[in-house]
Structure 1
Amino acid sequence: MGRIKKKGTSGAAKNYITRTRAVKKLQISLPDFRRLCIFKGIYPREPRNKKKVSKGSTAATTFYYTKDIQYLLHEPLLAKFREHKSVAKKIGRALGRGEVGDAARLEKNLIPKVKLDHIIKERYPSFVDALRDLDDALSMLFLFANLPSSEHIPTKTIALCQRLTHEFEHFVIVSHSLRKSFLSIKGIYYQATIQGQDIMWLVPYRFVQRTAGDIDFRIMGTFVEFYTTLLGFVNFRLYTSIGLVYPPKFNVKSDEEGGELGAFQLEGKAITDGEPATNGDVADAIASAEAQAEVDKIIANAANESIADTQDSTALVRTEEDEENNEAIDKFETTAQDADVLPQPQASSTEAASLFAPFTFYLSRETPRAPLEFLLKAFGSKRVGWDSILGDGAFTTDESDTTITHQIVDRPTLPNGSLPDPPPVPETVHGGAVPPKAQWPRSTVPGRTYVQPQWVWDCINQGKLLRPDLYAPGAELPPHLSPWVKPKKGEYDPNLPLEQQEPEGEAEAFEEEEGDGDGDSVSEDEEAPAVQELEDAVIDRDSSVEAGEGMDVASAEDDSDEEEMDEDIANEWEGFESEGESDISDGEAERRQHQRELEAEAAGVTLESKPKTAKEQKTESRKKLEKKRKQEEEDRERQKMMLSRRKRKLLKRIEYGTEKRDKEAENLRRKKRRIENAKEAANAI
């Protein structure tokens, strides 16, 4: 007889451990345990069978892997946590005795500083791993960079988040890594491609943020502490990889005046003789360095393959020239009409750098300056100006500057005389300079293009300059769609007209439904007076009965009159049934029509056919579509009968999803058709 195993010593019960046992095993407090798990990337696990793990108990319990807790026993941060706990006891004892000076000295000199450098290296062995995990870090740090300071969020943390996020934005601007952006309800989504990795993050809008009391800022603060260390490492690696000095110079005065991105001054190591380099110089240096790296790579490959020097060098030069001349990006087009949409290649950094390069932009006061400045500079524009009240760092604060080619406004034009006269402006100010004159919305500058902010986002997502007249001030903007959602077959696409995406017969059915709805409303209005007259007649009859007139006795003449009336009604119904063809089927009607044509041909008489009205043609086409659809459904049901039960269930789920998608698309098309009809009616008026 084998040895009996004790319950809970093997299997799932040994692989999992409760949080209470884990805290006791590590000999730290619960807040320190949570903090340590966040730093190390250890999260609770859900076992398949809780009864086996918890020895038959069904209470709500948090479980961890036993090996993860065993791994934490050798973590150096445990010693820091225990040292911090001992110093906290000393500080509490000093405060209890009233020795405030000693408590301050202990906090300044003996509180251990926690460093997460070794944890970053453990969790991200390669730099690509850190880039892949950068989405949540950027979203969290951009969120804290826009929060107000409070007792839960210190000012130093907010300032650190702002500095790190601005440094990352500067790298994206210089390297032209930004690819797409989208305005959503939550905020602004950005996507950048860095070293082949797509990084997406969310930046909230700059509204007044009110922090609720049910948010645990201690846990969020722990994540921020880890993410700031991670982003600091990433920024250092990114800056040094393209030849920039890290950290960049920071102008405190410019930052206090609202400079934000303009408060940082980038420097290249081998660009100029010690002078700080501008963004344009750094971009040129990056482009030349990348080109030189490509040439070195080609030469190394040629040497490894042992190809003739003269012939191969000539071929390589020709290949490089062809690549330089062919700047247009390839596009894949489908050959079939109903084929799936093919994924298109993304624009390169060179094309992104030249999208807004030849333009000078001016941002009006009502537009969001921070995202527009970031987007315009990331896509090549080196000259972005705005009003002086929006902050420091503008290319120009004079709205009447003649070098401005595009002005971004976010309010419609107003008729003349609706605005008050501007205050008198002195001819000169201090220093003899001419003050800027306000132009918009009182007047426009000839030759300048005025667009709404959505024009910038749509141009970036489509990779080309769109027509500015579609985004003119006060114009109805086209739909702003997510660049990551591709239209699929059968789904509603706002960019396409209804005629290209609605099935055959849907427009006629919609018009008939609208017409029936109007007819019902009219008939109800017409029936209201008739119902009122009937009610009045009933009331008069009741009143006459109450007055003592009594009930009339029917005479013989009245009986004969009623019989004649019944015969007339019967004759009318017989004639209606004989003349009407409502009970005749479509096949019988076609047979009779064919018989009439044969008789007319035999008699030598031309059979005159009445032209069908538009309503009859629509009704006939709808009947044909319904008949065709019914035939297809019958064929499909016969095919289902040949399938097995498992495949029928799978097909049923697929059909349910397809019908749900088609119904949603149909509702959206109906909504758009109503809007278009309303617009046509308004324009006709």
Structure 2
Amino acid sequence: MGKIKKKGTSGNAKNYITRSQAVRKLQISLPDFRRLCIFKGIYPREPRSKKRASKSSTPSTTFYYTKDIQYLLHEPLLDKFRDQKALAKKISKALGRNEVSDAQRLEKNLTPRMRLDHIIKERYPTFVDALRDLDDALSMLFLFANLPSTSEVPAKTIAKCQRLTLEFEHYLIRTHTLRKSFLSIKGIYYQATIQGQDILWLVPYRFVQRTGAEIDFRIMATFVDFYTTLLGFINFRLYTSIGLVYPPRLDAQSEEQGAELAAFHLEGQADSKDEITTGEVIHTEVNAKAQAEADKLLALPNVAEGQAEEVEIMDGDTEDKQATTTLDQFSSLDPAADSLLQPSLTADAETAGQLFEPFTFFLSREAPRHPLEFILKSFGCKRVGWDMSLGEPGAYCSEDDKRITHQVVDRPDLPLPSPPLTDGEADDDAPTTRTTNQRVPGRIYVQPQWIWDTINAGQLQRPDLYAPGATLPPHLSPWVKPKNGDYDPTLSLADQATAGDEDVSDEEQDEIDADEALEAASAGEEIDGVRGDDEAQEMEKELEDSDGMDVELAGSDDDESEAEVGAVAGEWDGISGDEADGLDAVAREAREHQLELEAEAKGLSVRDSSVNARKQARQVAKDKRTRAEREAEEDVERRKMMMSRRKRKMFEKMVYSNARKDEEAEKLKGKRRKIERKAEKTD
């Protein structure tokens, strides 16, 4: 008889541990346990069988890996948590004795400071790993940077988040690594490419935020503590990689006046006294590999001066090659294959830095200043002005400046200024200055969406489509690309049909088939199911018997080409082409005469007879189509019978999802048709 195993010593019961057991094992409180798990990146796990993993009669709800809890036993933060708990007891005793000054002294001098540097190094061994996990960090920090200061969210935390996010935006402006942006209901989405990693984050709109009581800010504050440390490390590495001093110097007076991005003064590492403003152009990015090779060669004791000059020349050549490198376009050899993904037009940092470089922008008061300033400077614009009431520091010019080429407005249409009066109509009391609700001749006025659509397209869009008061084009997500068969709002329905999308309904297809059948009938052919009159059949038999010639009636095979459908029904052996054309004309006249005789016998006109024939042909075409669809469905069912159960389920899910997508595309196309018809009627 084997040894009896004790319950809970093997299997799932050993691999998993409940939350209450983990808290007792670590000897900390539940809030501290949550903070520690957030810092270390340990999350609850779901066992396959909660009943087997639980050691009690009632299955628990939250489980963790036992190895993860064992790993937490050696965490240095546990000592900090215990010191905080001991300090809280001392403060509560001092307050109980009404010793407020002693309690304040204890809180000020004995509060332990927790550092998360070692956790950052443990969770992200390489810098690329930290960049991959930067999406949630940026979204959380930008959210807290726009929150109002309350008891749950102190002003110190908000100021720290604002400083870190502005420093990160300065790096994107300097390196032109911002790629795309999208205006959504939730906020503004941004995407940047840093060292080959695509980073996507969300920034809320600057509305008045109201924090509800149902939000647990303690959990969110724990994430903010971790993310601020992470972004501080990343900003330091990014700034030093392009030769800038970190942290940048902050002008407190300019920040109080609303300067935001202009409140930071960037300095180079070579000479920290020489300030580098955001409007200046610097070329601090060099090829890392060439620079490393140059440093190695120059470090050798026997290196010659000529070799050093060759290294510098090679370094300059590599930079020129990088500057003139164009993106490769990939073409498919098989025309029937799927289209290959092409590189993005905005993937080049140099191209992005020259998009708005020759322009001078002025932002009106109603336009969102900070997002527009950030995007314009990220894509090369160095001259951005705004109204002085929004913050005088950092503004390049005022609204009356003649150097302004584009003005961003978000208001109804602005009229042109009235023409000047003649000499005889001069009025001394008339104002000589332009009002703020009039346009300046020679200046381009656009709505803010023009900026976003331009950077997403990688090229300047037509400004007349975004004029003040105009109906804007649809603002589409740059990350969603329509596939074959999907609805593309940027193209008309006719262009989508020519691009390969068969935008033809069942009724329209039936009418097309009916027209083709009637054309075949006009050439002297008989349509199955349409011309089935006894008199016509007897007449054709008499013609065959009298002439002694074989007539081959047109079949209904789907493999016939359009040339065969429109060909002559009867093939005459031994007759030349001209004679066959003459016989074709005779057969067509006989067919028309036969239609007239049938219409007269039924008391109908020739037009009514053709309408009836069209209806019959349409019904026959519909029957053919349904028969072909039924045969295709039977073929699919036969193939499904040969599949395994797993592949069959997967195939059914694919068919279901494709059907849902087709339904959504048809609904959108139907709405598009209605809009186009209304536009045609109004025109």
TM-score if structure 2 supplies the norm length?
A: 0.78
SS at match of 2:258: coil
For residue 588 of structure 1, the aligned residue among 509, 526, 529 is 529
Q: Within the alignment, does 1:479 sit opposite 2:486 as a pair?
A: no
Rounded to whole Å, the distance in 2 between the matches of 1:397 and 1:66 is: 63
Look up the match of 1:682.
Answer: 682
Instruction: Kindly provide the amino acid, as one letter, of the partner of residue 340 in structure 1.
Output: D
CA distance in 2, matches of 1:618, 1:334: 45
1:338/1:489 contact within 8 Å kept: no
Q: Tell me the distance in 2 between the aligned counterparts of 1:485 and 1:254.
A: 40
Aligned match of 1:81: 81
Is the contact made by 2:530 and 2:616 (CA closer than 8 Å) also made in structure 1?
no
Aligned residues of 2:529 and 2:616 also touching (Cα < 8 A): no
Structure 1 position 49, deviation (Å)? 0.7
2:635 aligned to which of 638, 644, 647: 638
**What is the correspondence of 1:106-255 to structure 2 with a 5 Å cutoff?**
106-255=106-255
Q: Are the aligned partners of 2:362 and 2:404 in contact in 1 as well (CA < 8 Å)?
A: yes
Could you tell me how far 1:112 is from its partner in structure 2? 0.9
Task: Give 2:102's aligned residue.
Answer: 102
Q: 3-state DSSP class of the match of 1:190?
A: strand
SS at match of 1:193: strand
The yes-or-no answer on 1:466 pairing with 2:481 is: no
Whole-Å Cα distance in 2 between the matches of residues 483 and 171 of structure 1? 23
Please show how residues 606-645 of structure 1 align to structure 2 within 5 Å. Answer: 607=592, 624=621, 627-628=624-625, 630-642=627-639, 643-644=641-642
Backbone CA RMSD of aligned residues = 3.7
Q: Note closer, same or farther for the CA distance 1:626–1:334 as it changes in structure 2 (3 Å cut).
A: farther
Given the alignment of the two structures, is residue 6 of structure 1 paired with residue 6 of structure 2, yes or no? Answer: yes
- Alignment partner for residue 444 of structure 1, among 439, 443, 447? 439
Distance change (3 Å), C-alpha of 1:462 and 1:414: closer
In the comparison of the two structures, how many residue pairs are matched? 584
In 2: Cα distance, 1:266 partner to 1:253 partner: 16
CA distance in 1, matches of 2:619, 2:411: 47
**Percent identity over paired residues:** 58
Q: Please tell me whether the aligned partners of residues 386 and 397 of structure 2 are also in contact (alpha carbons under 8 angstroms).
A: yes
Structure-2 change in CA distance of 1:597 and 1:242 (3 Å)? farther
Q: Is 1:329 the counterpart of 2:314 in the alignment?
A: no
Matched, 1:401 2:401: yes
Unaligned runs of 5+ in 2: 298-306, 419-430, 512-525, 544-584, 596-605
Find the aligned partners of 1:618 and 1:443 in 2 and give their Cα distance.
62
Q: Which stretch of structure 1 is more off in the superposition, 330-339 or 381-390? A: 330-339
Distance 2:293 2:619 in 1: 66
Corresponding residue for 1:500?
Answer: 495
Change (3 A) 1:404 1:331: farther
Matches within 5 A, 1:191-590: 191-270=191-270, 274-281=273-280, 283-287=281-285, 289-290=286-287, 294=290, 323=321, 326=324, 328-333=326-331, 339-346=337-344, 347-414=347-414, 440=436, 442-501=437-496, 504=502, 506=504, 509=507, 587-590=528-531
Q: For residues 654 and 56 of structure 1, what CA distance do their matches in structure 2 show?
A: 43
Partners in 2 of 1:268 and 1:436 — Cα distance? 48
Amino acid at match of 2:224: V
One-letter amino acid matched to 1:350? E
Cα 1:85–1:658 change in 2 (3 A) is same
Change in Cα spacing, 1:35 to 1:322, as seen in structure 2 (3 Å) is closer
Give the C-alpha shift of residue 604 in structure 1.
7.7
Q: Which amino acid aligns with 1:205?
A: Y
Code of the aligned partner of 2:12: A
The Cα shift of 1:632 comes to: 3.7
Residue 669 of structure 1 is matched in structure 2 by: 669
Does the C-alpha gap of structure 1 residues 42 and 299 become closer, same or farther in structure 2, counting only changes over 3 Å?
closer
Q: 2:474 and 2:215 mapped to 1: Cα distance? A: 35
Quick check: 1:510–1:670 contact (8 Å CA) kept in 2?
no
CA shift digits 1:638-658 (9 cap, x unpaired): 342243263554433322222
More moved, 645-654 vs 222-231:
645-654
Say whether the 8 Å CA contact 1:171–1:238 is kept in structure 2. Answer: yes
Question: 1:368/1:604 Cα in 2 relative to 1: closer, same or farther (>3 Å)?
Answer: closer
Instruction: Say if 1:469 and 1:490 are closer, same or farther in 2 by CA, change over 3 A.
Output: same
Check 1:109–1:314 CA distance in 2 against 1; reply closer, same or farther (3 A cut): closer
Verify the 8 A CA contact 1:178 1:190 in the aligned structure 2.
yes
SS in structure 1 of the partner of residue 192 of structure 2: strand
Q: Which range moves more in the overlay, 370-379 or 475-484? A: 475-484
Please give the alpha-carbon distance, in whole angstroms, between the structure 2 residues aligned to 1:191 and 1:328.
22
Change (3 A) 1:491 1:626: farther
CA shift in 2, pair 1:468/1:509, >3 Å: farther
Indicate if the aligned counterparts of 1:131 and 1:197 stay in contact, CA closer than 8 A. yes
1:47 aligns with 2:71: no
Cα deviation, residue 323, structure 1: 3.6
Q: 1:671 to 1:313 in 2, by over 3 A?
A: same
- Structure 1: stretches of 5+ with no match in the other structure: 302-308, 419-434, 514-584
Q: CA deviation at 1:601?
A: 4.6
Distance 2:230 2:81 in 1: 21
- Residue aligned with 1:587, SS: coil
Q: Is 2:13–2:54's contact at 8 Å kept on the other side of the alignment?
A: yes
